[in-house]
Chains A and B, each alone.
Chain A
Amino acid sequence: MSGRRPLGLTLVALALLSQMPAGWSGWLMYVPIEACRFVMIPGESTLRQVSLTLRPGTQRGPALPPDIVARLAELNDQDPAAARDLYDNFLALKARNERLTNRVAALEEEIAQLSRVREGLGDRPLRYIRARVTSERGGPVERTLTLDRGRASGVAERQTVVAGANLVGEVIEVTGRTSEVRLITAPGTTLRARLGPADASEPRSVVEQFAVLDDGSGFVTEVAIGAPVREGDLAHLVDDLGRWPTAADGRVIGVVTTIDDRTDQPVQLKRVVVTPLRDLTRLARVTVIAEVGQAIDEGGSEGGDR
């Protein structure tokens, strides 16, 4: 066996194979993989049995319960393939159990977050005040909207403003008939958000700290290269520290539009860009979420548009 050309071609072929989706290479190499597995079973399972006997419960991968070990050893004498199937079945169940455990943990976290929101709101009902955006100010220092609703309509400082499902910002200043809203994309804003699939079909989520992009068009963060984040995932605000109005916690801040390697460490990190569902600087109408009690306390009047 010699020659650099065949060796080079083989290396190129292997390099391509190594970067194929697992499904494709698994399909292409199905026969060799199964053949190797078949050939390896006698030697490997014999030695594994020796290993199990001498040092039970310390196999590579998940440790096996003693009854499974005994059953495997018994089966291995009669039918190594059946023993292998039993082991595979155990691993599949173990993996399913792990996925479900992760899902339960994610749901518990979500419940805890919703509970915090409920505790924060107490029994006070929410009022939804529709407001028109009369002007928008954007710049390197601040990004704000001016609304045509103010104290007279029940708007108060530190109320949440949304547009559809998307969090827009919080009310920072109120006059009798107008109010000022600081956008979530205002310069210098940092926030934590949970990234996960929009339909909650998969048990995956990751919480990251986001910074606003320089042009204010969205948010950016860097996550580990293997982090379970995909384009199309929704980003929900996580506000453990109470920096945002209570009703803002858990609201959508945007959708993952870009995942790329523009980081200092492209092998370890990937850059995730989240863009609001709607352009926050071109909104015509928004909704102010007012807690009824809060509006009375802070505004002193219960006027409004309902």
Chain B
Amino acid sequence: MNWAVFGLALYLALAIERGLAGLLAIPDSVSGVSPSFVLILVTWVALQASSSTSLWAGLIAGLAVDLVAGADSGGLVGAHALGYALVAFAVLQMRGMVYRQSGLTLGVMTFLGGLFGHLAIVLVLSLRGMPLLPAEALAGWDTTDQLARRFAELIYTGVVASILPLVLSRTLVWWGFPTKR
């Protein structure tokens, strides 16, 4: 895979996800449910690239999400990196069963992979504040609310991801994905 293209795509995905969150948020939704373009990117790469490349891409993308959000979250780093690596892993396990060129595939895989990823993220963040662990609990953290909001985001992201292959398929030549799988 061409890592420069991945880096540029990651930058665009992060900028769109954060910059256009208000524009794309579902009106009157709790905490402004908006799609995650980074999750779509990780799923897209995991569907096309080799195993180790996919896992590293998921980890790097998650770390970027952690770092960019770090200034707002007071320096919490690691949860999204682990979660997005798990997204890549989950998609790698399932991609043999699907027709990767289909438009719907990206949407469905984003949703399914995202389920695992977000469960891992919520688990990691919920562990904070548990006895014997040094990390303090997150202020105002409510696991049920988080799961509900993230599930709504996943559905939204899955729908958006179903449309994006129309654009992404035209960029395949830039990515340098292996042609024989």
Contact = CB atoms under 8 A, between A and B. Distances in A.
Nearest to B18: A44
B142 A46 contact: no
A78 interface: no
A262 B96 CA distance: 42
Contacts, number: 174
Contact of B136 (A22, A33, A52, A59): A22
Contact of B23 (A29, A51, A270): A51
Interface size class of B (residues with CB under 8 A): 35 or more
B19 A51 contact: yes
Contacts of B133: 19
B25 interface: yes
B21 interface: yes
A223 to B, nearest CB: 11
A33 B52 CA distance: 26
A86 interface: no
A77 interface: no
Interface string B75-92: 111110110010000000
Interface in A8-32: 10-11, 14-30, 32
Interface stretch (A35-43, A110-118, A123-131, A169-177): A35-43
Contacts of B172: none
Contacts of B71: 33-34, 37
A31 B19 CA distance: 22
Given A15-B82, A18-B77, A21-B134, A29 B70 contact: yes
Interface of B: 3, 11-12, 14-16, 18-23, 25, 27, 31-32, 34, 52-53, 55-56, 59, 63-64, 67-68, 70-71, 73-79, 81-82, 85, 123-131, 133-144
Interface of A: 1-4, 7, 10-11, 14-30, 32-37, 39-40, 43-48, 50-52, 54-55, 58-61, 224-226, 228, 259-261, 266-268, 270
